[in-house]
Every structure is written in C-alpha cells, then in structure tokens.
Amino acid sequence: MINKKPVLIVFLLLACSIINAQEGAVSVDKIKLDFNVLAEKKKAVQSKDALLMPAYDQLLKTAEKLLKYEPVSVMGKKDLPPSGDKHDYMSLAPYWWPDPSKPNGLPYIRKDGETNPEVKNYTDKVNMPRLCENVYMLSLAYYFSGDEKYAAHASKLLQVWFLDSDTKMNPNLKYGQAIKGVTEGRGAGIIDTRHFVFVIDALELLKKSKSWTAKNHLGMQKWFSDLLHWLNTSEIGIDEMNAKNNHGVWYDAQTLSMALFVDSIDLAKRIIARSVNRLDTQMDTNGFFPLEMERTISLHYTVFVLDAFCIIAQLSEKTGTNFWTLETKSGKSLNKGLQAIFPYIAKEKQWVGPQIKPFNFTEGFQLFIRGAAKLKCSSCAGAVKKIAGDEYGKLLVNLL
C-alpha cells in the first residue's frame, strides 16, 4: 500500500492540470510555470543532461511545426458581433441549442454537457485557445534554445491578436458565450479567456528577445490593464466575479494573473482573500464541490475547479501567501478537496456523480513531476513513468 499523504497532494496537482475540461480546449495541457524550476532545467539542458534531451528535442520539433502556424485574429470571424465591430471577441454558449419546438429555434435551450457544433462557426472561440497554446510552446522553445526564430514567430502571433490596430482584439468580453434569443453576452463568457494566464507566462519568457521590444511589453501591460479594469467594473465582469461555482474561481485565477502582470499587488492580495472565501463557501464538509457535482460531467468540473484553485495557489506565492497549505475558517483546504477526489482519480472507487462523457485520467499526469519537485514526493516520478511508458522521456513536463 502506497503512502497516500504525499500522493494525495500530487493527485491534486494532477487534477489541477486538466485544462481540457471545458469546451474549446486545446491539445497541450499547459502548466503555470515556476520560473525558478525552469531556470534549473535550462542549465541542465545546456549541459546536455541525457534525461532531459528527449523532451527538449521533442519541444523543438513541435516548435518547428508551429513556425508554419499563420497569425489569427478576431477579424477572421464571418459574422459581426452585435456591436458591428469585429474587433470585439464573440462566442456562443457551448451547451445551448435551438429549441426544436420553435419554428426558428429561438430562444435556445440548455443541454448541459452537450456541445452545440454551431459554436465553431464563431472562430474567436476556436482561434484564441490555439493561439495561446502555440505562443506558450514557441516561447518555451526560445527560452531553452535561445533561437530567435521561435521568439520572432511568437512575437508576430501576439502582435496580430493583441496589439496591431487593424487586427487587435478589444480588451473586453461583452459578447462572450452569447445565447441566441436570450442574451448578446454574459459573465460566463469570461471563462473563455482563461488561456491568457499562460500567455502571461509566455510574455515573461520573451522579455530578453530582440524580437519582443519594450514597446511590445508595455503594450501588453496596457492591454491587460484595460481588460482587468473592464473585468472589475463592467456589469458582465461583476456578474462573473459573483459566480458561485468554478466560473468565479477561474475569474479570480485570471484577474490575479493579470494583476501581478501589471504590478497591482494590492489588488492581487484582495483577489487572493476572495479566493480563500470561495474555497470556504464552495467546498462542502467532505471536500466536494456541490455545484460541480450537479453537472452532467461532474468529474470533469470537480477537477476543473481544483485546477483554477491550483493556479491561484501558485500565483499567491508571489505575494507571500501559502494558499497550498492554508485552512479556511470552517476547515476547508485544497488538501481536503484532494482527499475527497483521490480514490476516484486513482480508480480505487467508481465516480459517484454524473459523467456523460469519458474522462481521460492521464490528461494531467505530467504534474506528478511538479508534485515531486514542489512537495518532495519521492514516488511521483515513478507514477508518471508507469503511466507514460515508452513516451515518458519525451514529455514536455520534464522541462518544466
């Protein structure tokens, strides 16, 4: 029987990595970067560490393919948002469908967990997550190799989506997750941009590149500052801030990342305090999240909410807060959430909630490695090797 105490923590990190729980996800599980760990791995790569070279070679192969990825922008969508301005991001709510009892299908009706393929007609929702993933991978390739071509392409992609006047996205989400016949946009649409957390990591990696100028960096700080202001002051943004389920937690993860990026430490501390309260109120006494357990894909959403809390925990370290180990006023903690979900992730028990779609238990296993580094879990690396098999050496997480 394995020692569950350290592995429990690791399985929380496993849960934390699964970005693909929401629709519109991308193929690579992106990890919030620890730049101290990254620096150590870079030194090892420069020393031709045999254990890291397969992962490094695979990263460069991926990055080479991404050099052919053409820039995308919000201007690529066919239909205009209600504003008439294509610079405004727009998406449709994924779980809303035409009402078959109505001649025109309006207003749309909800089918939780079932994605309406019509959402792909609005390419912002498709292009933005992929863009974020590709910028992240290219920036990592530049960081480890020093090859300017990767930074140059990442810079080009970023400029087209965020900075160039002809193509940039307006810093708002007025028309995110619209529901036809119901609303032009809603607070729930703000979760679409959770991938920006990883763009901000990429920006840190690009800072020393000659392809990414100080003007570019200031432009991105201004862009995220404007988005952060909109998130904190608009009716839609405040509505999402008040969400009682995973949406509120992801709102905090996003705004915390942005606040730290624009050096608003006081705001960051307020967001962390709000997140502690969310953990206290959203988790039940058994460590589960009742509002996520009600969903038709409840295991996905239980993992998804823990994912957001983990990002908050990692970001909180920059303010001197240890969110990983704190206990709320009513005794809630990340560890309690982990202990609740562990038997199901470990397949020791069958999941007790609804799950109408298959759940991929290996989607986030790369964070076992982070658990080994961060929490001194001696058995974590072995668990990853067992799951990954012959592909273990090529895993990106070995570099992170």
Cite the DSSP H helix spans in the chain. 4-16, 35-46, 53-66, 123-145, 148-158, 196-206, 214-233, 235-241, 246-261, 265-282, 290-293, 298-316, 334-345, 367-375, 380-388
- Amino acid letter for position 347: K
- Confidence check: pLDDT of 65 > 80: yes
Q: How many CA atoms lie within 13 A of 10 on its CB side?
A: 26
- For residues 311-316, average pLDDT: 92
DSSP state of 244: S
- Confidence check: pLDDT of 380 > 70: no
How confident is the model over 24-41, as pLDDT tens digits? 334 445 788 989 989 999
Q: What is the rounded distance in angstroms from the CA atom of residue 339 to the CA atom of residue 329?
A: 19
Indicate whether 211 belongs to any domain. Answer: yes
Which pLDDT belongs to residue 396?
84
Exposed / middle / buried, residue 299 (Cβ in 10 Å: 0-12, 13-18, 19+): buried
Indicate whether 398 belongs to any domain. Answer: no
Q: What is the rounded distance in angstroms from the CA atom of residue 86 to the CA atom of residue 66?
A: 26
pTM above 0.85, yes or no: yes
Which pLDDT belongs to residue 26?
40
Which pLDDT belongs to residue 232?
98
All residues at 6 or more sequence positions from 270 whose CB lies less than 8 Å from its CB, including other chains: none
Check whether the bond before 107 is cis (ω within 30° of 0).
yes
Q: What is the rounded distance in angstroms from the CA atom of residue 141 to the CA atom of residue 193?
A: 23
Indicate whether 342 belongs to any domain. Answer: no
All residues at 6 or more sequence positions from 391 whose CB lies less than 8 Å from its CB, including other chains: none
- Confidence check: pLDDT of 104 > 70: yes
- For residues 315-335, average pLDDT: 92
The percent of residues above 90 in pLDDT, for the chain, comes to 69
SS3 379: coil
Q: Which of 44, 13, 46 is nearest to 369 (CA)?
A: 13
The percent of residues above 70 in pLDDT, for the chain, comes to 85
Which pLDDT belongs to residue 298?
93
Query: Are the CB atoms for 144 and 62 separated by under 8 Å?
Result: no
Least confident of 53-57, 262-266, 323-327, 377-381: 377-381
- Amino acid letter for position 19: I
- Confidence check: pLDDT of 120 > 60: yes
- Amino acid letter for position 235: E
DSSP letters for 144-200: HH--HHHHHHHHHHHIIIII-TTTPPPS--TEEEEBTTTBS--GGGGGGGGGHHHHH
- Confidence check: pLDDT of 9 > 60: no
- Confidence check: pLDDT of 8 > 80: no
> Which residue range forms the structural domain that includes residue 137?
67-240
Q: What is the rounded distance in angstroms from the CA atom of residue 80 to the CA atom of residue 344?
A: 44
Indicate whether 245 belongs to any domain. Answer: no
Indicate whether 148 belongs to any domain. Answer: yes
- For residues 162-169, average pLDDT: 98
Indicate whether 367 belongs to any domain. Answer: no
Q: What is the rounded distance in angstroms from the CA atom of residue 176 to the CA atom of residue 24?
A: 13
Q: What is the rounded distance in angstroms from the CA atom of residue 399 to the CA atom of residue 137?
A: 12
| Average model confidence (pLDDT) across the chain | 87
| CATH code, domain with 103 | 1.50.10.100
Indicate whether 72 belongs to any domain. Answer: yes
Exposed / middle / buried, residue 58 (Cβ in 10 Å: 0-12, 13-18, 19+): middle
- For residues 48-53, average pLDDT: 96
Query: Are the CB atoms for 42 and 144 separated by under 8 Å?
Result: yes
The β-bridge relationship of strands 90-92 and 96-97 is: unpaired
Indicate whether 329 belongs to any domain. Answer: no
Least confident of 152-166, 279-293, 305-319: 305-319
Which pLDDT belongs to residue 400?
84
* Total domain count, the chain: 1
How confident is the model over 67-76, as pLDDT tens digits? 999 999 999 9
